[in-house]
Amino acid sequence: MSCQIWFSYLPGTVTNSKPALGQQLLFDLGIDKKHKLSFPGMLKAENIKKDYGSLQVLKGIDLEVKEAEVISIVGASGAGKSTLLHILGTLDKPDSGKLSINNSEISSLNGDDLAKFRNQHIGFIFQFHNLLPEFTAFENVCMPGLIGGKEKDKTEEYALHLMDLLNISKRKAHKPSAMSGGEQQRAAVARSLINKPSIVFADEPSGNLDSKNAEELHHLFFKLRDDMKQTFVIVTHNPDFAKMADRTIEIADGKILG
Ligand SMILES: Nc1ncnc2c1ncn2[C@@H]1O[C@H](COP(=O)(O)OP(=O)(O)OP(=O)(O)O)[C@@H](O)[C@H]1O
Ligand SMILES: [Mg+2]
């Protein structure tokens, strides 16, 4: 399932000049700040419901996420956080309800159109990095772009750019087994960004890290938001991170509390 979200790469214009990193990334992403600000809504979910047999997991979730917001989702184990994240990330379908992302109505997309939309607009980071063990960090980061048939040079250049930003370029030639947990997870973050998604969903991305690496990863999300205006929706059990987020959504009994 996670492979599908790798399959695209929106080519950006990578130049040889060296403007400020944040500015360069915005340029690479083809993001015009004025345009971005005029479309502040990134995600809107309305009355999302999901049952598994007789178990009503989501009983009507309404959620809006603005561009460049970092939202955390918290709740007890089994509350439905991953179920919701997968639905918001278009990896799963709700039984009912409406979802739009970046002004596209997801409920009306199917098959290839949905896969294409997902590939172009959505990044995923999982608790366990899911890097492919037989490939180097660099190959792992590039892979979603290359699988999508995009230009090798541009994909590699942008992968290096991201790896620099995430401070893992020195681990470029390392296979995941020769990287620390924090490095592996930062490579997974770079991989999630290679296709320049509109929104990144992360399911307990620091759940497998020690406290120092977890803290570094959390700061990284905010840096990516500040530098690239990247939008994040992050499920977490980490109370410190939940507090750092712009907004925290708590799920209990199939609904958002409050
Ligand atoms: N494919 C499935 N089939 C049947 N039941 C499922 C399925 N996926 C999830 N569930 C059930 O739905 C409920 C919500 O699961 P979910 O994985 O969304 O919880 P969660 O909040 O992410 O929990 P955790 O914090 O432990 O990851 C659980 O009771 C789970 O057993
Ligand atoms: Mg979960």
Q: What is the pTM of this model?
A: 0.84
Mutation pick for ligand 1 pocket among 1, 48, 55 (CB with most ligand atoms within 8 Å): 55
> For the chain, which residues make up each domain, given as ranges?
17-33+68-95+109-256
Q: To test the ligand 1 pocket, which listed residue (54, 72, 82) has its Cβ within 8 A of the most ligand atoms?
A: 82
Q: What is the structure's pLDDT at 24?
A: 41
Q: What is the DSSP letter of 124?
A: E
Give the closest ligand to the alpha carbon of residue 202. Answer: 2
Q: Which atom of ligand 1 is nearest to the CA of 83?
A: 18
Does 3.10.129.10 match the CATH number of domain 17-33+68-95+109-256? no
The confidence band for 147, taking pLDDT boundaries of 50, 70 and 90, is confident
Between residues 3 and 46, which one has the greater pLDDT? 46
Ligand 2 centre to CA of 250 (Å) is 13
Residue of 100, 102, 140 lying closest to 121 (CA atoms): 102
Backbone φ and ψ for 231, nearest 5 degrees, come out as -95, 135
DSSP three-state, residue 42: strand
For residues 52-81, give the mean pLDDT. Answer: 97
Six-digit token pair at 103? Answer: 């002004």
Span 214-243, average pLDDT: 93
Q: Please, are residues 7 and 147 in contact by the beta-carbon 8 Å criterion?
A: yes
